[in-house]
Amino acid sequence: MNSEIIFTQDYSYSVTATHATLGQLGDGRLTFGPGKGTTLQFRLSTLKLSEHQTLDEVHAVTEDGQHFTLFDCQFEQLFLSCQYIVSTETIDAFVLAEVKVLDISPWFFEYQRMQGKPGEKIEWVNTPHDISASLTLDDKNLTVKAYPHTSIDQTDDGHLIKDSVLFSIESTTALSISNVRRYTTDLLALLSILLGTPASISSVGVKSDNGSSGYVFFPYYEPEADTGTRKKESHDYFLKKPIIEANWQTIVQNFFPSELRDPLWLRLSGMKRYNDFWEYKVLGYVTLWEAYVSSQTQSLGKKTIAIPTKAVKRFHEKLDKNKLTLTNEQVQGVKDLADSVFQTREYTLQEKTEIVISQTDLDIVKIINLSSDAFVRLRKIRDEIAHGDIITIPPDEHPLLSTRIEKLTLLLTYFAFIEFGLKKDDFLACLRSTRNRMVRGANLNEAHLDKVMGTAEFITLTSENLLALKPVATGRAFCCFYRNDQGEVSYSLDDTKTYFAKLQSNALGNNPDYNEVFNNQEKKIRYVPNLYFEDGQHNLHFTAVILFE
């Protein structure tokens, strides 16, 4: 295969361009790279093309003999712009596209590690395996695979081991270069939604049906800027790796042919790249939400207005008094026709939202916890932005806007999961033990998430008892509580001090007998890693609790 074209790098070559029918077109400078597309600037002395002339394919050769094929070209003012470029001489017919994806190796290789001793034997364990899915799309039989790739490069200090993730799209019949771009773009959009973070292209290799291969370049999003802070780790991604391994076939079969793929899911994935002015973020996500709920309520038609308007009432009265020779059935038919036109209206966004939320799993709604009032506020701000109105936001509301947008994003992500064939439990599993920005910023109802997942113990108290414990709920771990026969709970400061003293003196083993630790044989003493006291409306959360019962 020819030299790899990296989507994050700029390229510039002096080339000679030729066309299969027109012959040699002339010499010029070929440039392409992120944010600039692909252009060939001809020298004035070699000009052979006319203004606005279009060419399907142009062949370019560099001074050192490297070949490129330019597809879908148009000439304007000395510049030949093209939609696609391939690093070999080829025709527009491919059977394989291999996409190297940036910045997802920590997720894909999460469980891989080295085992053994240096100088003796070292081997990889828990190496990720290939995942594969097949589908029929656009009358083409496609296979979409994901697999690991490890390269070892020699450096001044030794060897550098680099893991990367490849996705391939293979077809039994020829794919056009536009097919390659569409399927690649769709794939990256799918990954961005599932992972909860933008997935970007490193390179796209292609193979034609005659066996020749090369690399393709086309305009695409620039990757997230490297801020110089910590590198991403597996917990920064939303989707858990085992979920995609178990459901890849289902996901692929549901996503690629989805009627919501373009524009809804593609735009949702694109919004994940936006980290700039907050007003446009509100505008983007609320508009995406409106598109989704509208798609889910299309079958409702229009809403009937319960109370007739004055105009309709007057029309009915005049129709009753008319001197036309109409039968009673005809009069009623005219009234019904008028009612169907003037006594109906479109559902509002708020009404559509309430309908969709009412049909959504109650646990998901409680965990994400976007109130109706909060959504109304987002919608009003979106409308003010769209209409160019002055927006007045109290200072204390600014932090809430970011949280509400992340909640709305999570709701859209949940519906995407369901659309892709995943289940409620898959989504809940992704909410647990993650540092994903979307989840961290959403201020979830962690108590209900713990209750649904069964990852905490819940003890019901009276409201008075819960209020008495509130001063203790400072986030401190290893608190000691007594629970009497009536179910009342009290905090023990003395036992808490005793336990801390033993912890600091390393007097506790890995599995201590708490009755011996506290020299108390009268109570059942147990360790509760995650505990909530609740009264039905409010709760207090404690970790690493010692409970005397």
**Which parts of the chain register pLDDT below 50?**
none
d(CA 134, CA 429): 26
Q: Does pTM surpass 0.85?
A: yes
Please report, for residues 7, 21, 42, 236, the alpha-carbon distance to residue 15 in angstroms, rounded to integers and kept in the order given: 20, 18, 9, 44
pLDDT tens per residue across span 154-176:
887 877 888 899 999 999 999 99
d(CA 331, CA 319): 7
Q: What are phi and psi of 60, to 5 degrees?
A: -125, 140
What pLDDT shows up at residue 392?
Answer: 84
What pLDDT shows up at residue 191?
Answer: 98
Residue in 352, 358, 357 with CA at minimum distance from that of residue 299: 352
Q: How many helices and strands in the chain, by DSSP H and E?
A: 17, 21
Residue in 62, 54, 117, 53 with CA at minimum distance from that of residue 88: 62
Q: Is the dihedral of CA 449, 451, 457, 461 positive or negative?
A: positive
What pLDDT shows up at residue 332?
Answer: 81
What pLDDT shows up at residue 180?
Answer: 97
Asked if 147 and 170 touch (Cβ cutoff 8 Å), the reply is no
Other residues' Cβ atoms within 10 Å of the Cβ of residue 329: 7
What pLDDT shows up at residue 186?
Answer: 98
* DSSP state for residue 263 in the 8-state scheme: I
Q: Report helix, strand or coil for 279.
A: helix
What pLDDT shows up at residue 195?
Answer: 98
